[in-house]
Amino acid sequence: MNRRIRSVFGICAAVSMLLSMRAWADGNADKPLVWWNRQPSNSSTGELDMDALTWNDQTCYVGFDADQGAELQGQMIAGYMEANIDTIDRNGDGIIGYVLAIGDIGHNDSIARTRGVRKALGTALAVEGEIDSSPAEINVDGSAVVVQDGEVGGLTVRELASHEMKNASGATWDAATAGSFIDTWTDSFGDQIDVIVSNNDGMGMAMFRAWAQEEGVPTFGYDANSDAVAAIADGYAGTISQHADVQAYLTLRVLRNAMDGVDPDTGIGTADEAGNVLSDTDYYYDESSHSYYALNLAVTSDNYKDFLDSTAVYAPVAHQLDAETSPVRQVWLDLYNASDNFLSSTYQPLLESYDDLLNLEVTYIGGDGQTESNITNRLESPDMYDAYAINMVRTDNAASYTALLQ
């Protein structure tokens, strides 16, 4: 081969190497992607967005079983009412009056919790076979069309009021809004409120601190955030753990497995080399929805001491991975709302512990909870990452993310 030909060959080889590197760099669409906390779905019908859930063969959702948790929350509240039937009716009008803080009328977790509570208390009304989850607004006289009066332990149960706690700029699950609503409600019918129910602890705690604690009115939330669990000692009546310690692990673990090219069940249902493994009382995987669901646990005055630190990693999956077989990788992860109580005080600290154990370098992006573009604007260089973990503002908006990975 003469020099000229050799150098042409050399150029060709270099070009083809560059091309293959580009091909690799361009392959964002093939990189592992996990949707978490907000399942891609139609926000009015709840129908799953299977295009998003099967975006590539390394895509799945990590959340928790919303229906099982909602049922548990409803039963916990009904059980409390029954156990305290002699004292629960504070004004003795024969009605157990409760108010309900709704997180986000288009969020599957919020819808499930509203339904679970109404079902357990007998206040649910069904439309076309599905329990109505719309806010009743003010229903002190029992005339609302979305709920009915129920019955527990021989007393009537009435949803006196319920409202979506969304602030003026559109942020949902808004604790401050719940805090001011309880003020408004108690000003006009405070003596009729016997129980406070909330779709989450962020809003529940705002209502508890603003009014219920001093009045001794039992308040129920959801998430088992550390501050809410600690407040059980001060009269907060109960909450539900959605096993965030399992969810945060799964969120990163599914990406780790995909990047390592190992069996997707490694360190999940099947122990890995380090000994990490979950059991079937912690979670289940549903093939048809490509989703992992953590199971919920009720937290009340009977067991709250076991749940005081919501940011503690789950011991069965707290073993460090070997950096030889699972080398450092880059992950882009967003939280739809940096000021959401549950995500910022429970979920993110857990992720930050697991990222070390799993040898992942995670770039955490905190959204404003209102607009998708506030987050998608910060996915400007997707090539820099080996995998993505996405928490959407609206569950309908999966395509605004996948479009950036095309």
Binding site for ligand BGC (CB under 6 A): 37-38, 103, 109, 173, 200, 202, 222-223, 340, 342-343
Residue 28, Cβ neighbours under 10 Å: how many?
20
Work out what residue 37 binds among Ca ion, ligand BGC, none; the CB cut-off runs from 5 to 8 Å by kind: ligand BGC
Task: Give dist(CA 160, CA 102) in Å, integer.
Answer: 13
- Our CB check for Ca ion shows the closer of 95 and 387 to be 95
Helix residue ranges, H only, 340-383? 341-342, 348-357, 373-376
- Our CB check for Ca ion shows the closer of 186 and 200 to be 186
Q: Is 151 in the site for Ca ion (CB under 5 A)?
A: no
Work out what residue 71 binds among Ca ion, ligand BGC, none; the CB cut-off runs from 5 to 8 Å by kind: none
Q: Is 260 in the site for Ca ion (CB under 5 A)?
A: no
- Our CB check for ligand BGC shows the closer of 203 and 321 to be 203
Task: Mark the segment that binds Ca ion (CB under 5 A) among 35-43, 192-200, 262-270, 316-324.
Answer: 192-200
CA angle, residues 315, 316, 321, in degrees to nearest 5: 95
For residue 137, the surrounding DSSP H or E stretch is strand 137-138
- Our CB check for ligand BGC shows the closer of 257 and 345 to be 345
What tokens were used for 385? 């990452």
What is the nearest approach in angstroms of Ca ion to the Cβ of residue 182? 17
Task: Give dist(CA 2, CA 92) in Å, integer.
Answer: 103
Q: Is 99 in the site for Ca ion (CB under 5 A)?
A: no
What tokens were used for 7? 């150098």
Q: Is 91 in the site for Ca ion (CB under 5 A)?
A: yes
What is the nearest approach in angstroms of ligand BGC to the Cβ of residue 275? 29
What is the nearest approach in angstroms of ligand BGC to the Cβ of residue 60? 17
Buried b / exposed e over 212-245, threshold 16 CB at 10 Å, is bbeeebbbbbbbbbbebbebbeebbbbbbbbbbb
What is the nearest approach in angstroms of ligand BGC to the Cβ of residue 135? 17
3 state DSSP class of 12: helix
**Tally of helices (H runs) and strands (E runs) in the chain:** 13, 17
What is the nearest approach in angstroms of ligand BGC to the Cβ of residue 173? 4
Work out what residue 95 binds among Ca ion, ligand BGC, none; the CB cut-off runs from 5 to 8 Å by kind: Ca ion
3 state DSSP class of 345: helix
Q: Is 215 in the site for Ca ion (CB under 5 A)?
A: no
Work out what residue 238 binds among Ca ion, ligand BGC, none; the CB cut-off runs from 5 to 8 Å by kind: none
What is the nearest approach in angstroms of ligand BGC to the Cβ of residue 186? 23
What tokens were used for 107? 């969020």
Instruction: Give yes or no for a contact between 194 and 88, defined as CB atoms under 8 angstroms apart.
Output: yes
Q: Which residues of the shown chain bind Ca ion in the complex (CB under 5 A)?
A: 89, 91, 93, 95, 97, 194
